[in-house]
Amino acid sequence: MRPTTALLPVTLVVALGGLALPSPALAADPGPALTVDATTGRHPISPYVYGMNFADEALARDLRLPVDRYGGNATTRYNFRADTSNRAGDWYFENIPNDNPDPASLPDGSETDRFVAENKRTGTATIMTVPMIGWVAKDRARSCAYSVAKYGAQQSTDPWAPDCGNGKKPDGTLITGNDPKDTSVAVGPEYVTDWLTHLKGRFGSAANGGVQFYNLDNEPDLWHSTHRDVRPTGLGYDELRDRTYQYAAAIKAADPGAKTLGPVGWGLNSIFYSGLDQDTCSRTGCWSNPPDRAAHAGQDLGPWYLDQMRAYEQQHATRILDYFDVHLYPQQSGVFSDAAGDAATQALRLRSTRQLWDPTYVDESWINKPVRFIPRMRELVDQHYRGTKIAMTEYNWGGTGSMNGALAEADVLGIFGREGLDLANLWTAPKSDQPVANAFRIYRNYDGAGGAFGETSVRATSADQEKLAVYAAERGSDKALTLVVVNKSGADLTSPVALTGASAGTA
């Protein structure tokens, strides 16, 4: 380290994946030069970027987890009164009741009640997903949308419930015309009002320790696929707007201090195409001129959606959208997988994090163009609905049980802070002993005593970020400058670190 201006003590450098500090006993290759300037590029890092989905209580306490999400496909039709959800296309479109020690007391003591209570014990904010599709599971009885007895032989059936099929005929064609009421009951915004009334009664309002965040359903642009038993057609621009107006307004009326996140799209395509266009174009190839977009002056869905949310606030003097939320899963082959993969896949996983920010990185998948996901989202809200925050309530870079996955996750978390993302939740939480959990520990509790990465990002650069990434932040409690260094090279490296506005402390 070479201090150039003594202002902040450097009290932490975390080295991952083979970074070697200079030592005559180690034979290390020369690494790229690292530069940290504590006087420039300063901005707050939102603690909510270190979130997860469904973290267990022990892990949440260990990580001082800032935010935990109750989300995913099953939440789209969750019935809080019956404590039951439909698993949709993930598992034979079945209604499966949650385990409950006292179902006679429902809705008190539901799985979602216990989820919120657990988060309160660990000081973790809750994101609850509210159904917006218009249907929820009808009762606590186990049932399914595509009964073999009712709809005929099917391509696949549940091994433990053989009357429940996958909704496809033996030749793979979709079964159509099924009755949604086989599994579900119709609901409207009043359902959300009732649920929030229940949650406020149990836990208080958002401003008084209750549920702070509400996702406006989950990936509605895929309802026509994931939930095709009740919603066989894609969700268009206008209906997405109208449903958001109704349900988000119901949330704000029931708990004005709560924050909403939408449209909760599945990925990059969610910024460009409505569910209706994704449904239509996946069958007809109309991607260059999708009809629903054409009917809306050729405007991509993301900016149009933000314009509509801004228009609502202008008309009603109430903001009903607080976070612009789009999920992201790497589309490169083999990256989003629990397995680390071969050497080529592992190298690709570490490169692919550049899609989060780098305008020079061409995504190595069917996307085949620069994604720059976080700057793209920030530009959209700045141009179309200033003041809206940006979120990614689902993402996963794979390799959860491997050091390679931990390196990727450490890189991702550093990027989130540096690029100014406001909220993110890993899907789903790792086990406490998995390497990816250690990536979170580096930022949240590296010494087991609350030692953490700083809360104010400062400028940190690498001469070759594809080989060695560096992130730096000032910690408020002691004004220490903290660094995280991620070695993606697979070799031991020795790199010079030039510091401005800091003095060399412990490393």
pLDDT of residue 381: 99
Q: Are the beta carbons of 372 and 389 closer than 8 angstroms?
A: no
As given in the structure block, the two tokens for residue 408 are 């990727």
pTM for the full model? 0.94
Nearest CA-CA partner of 139 in 192, 90, 98: 98
User: What's the CATH fold of domain 1-45+455-507?
Assistant: Immunoglobulin-like (2.60.40)
Task: Break the chain into its structural domains and give their ranges.
Answer: 1-45+455-507
* Beta-sheet pairing, 497-500 with 2-3: parallel
The length of the chain in residues reads: 507
Q: Are the beta carbons of 457 and 418 closer than 8 angstroms?
A: yes
231-236: long-range contacts, CB 8 A cutoff, minimum separation 24: 231/133, 231/134, 231/135, 232/176, 233/276, 233/279, 234/274, 234/275, 234/276, 234/277, 234/278, 234/279, 234/280, 235/274, 235/275, 235/276, 236/274, 236/275, 236/276, 236/277, 236/292
Q: How far is the CA of 191 from the CAs of 211, 240, 242, 283, in angstroms?
A: 17, 18, 16, 34
Q: What are the pLDDT digits (tens) for 436-451?
A: 999 999 999 999 999 9
Q: Which residues of the chain have pLDDT under 70?
A: 1-27, 503-507
Q: Are the beta carbons of 63 and 51 closer than 8 angstroms?
A: no
As given in the structure block, the two tokens for residue 417 are 């802070």
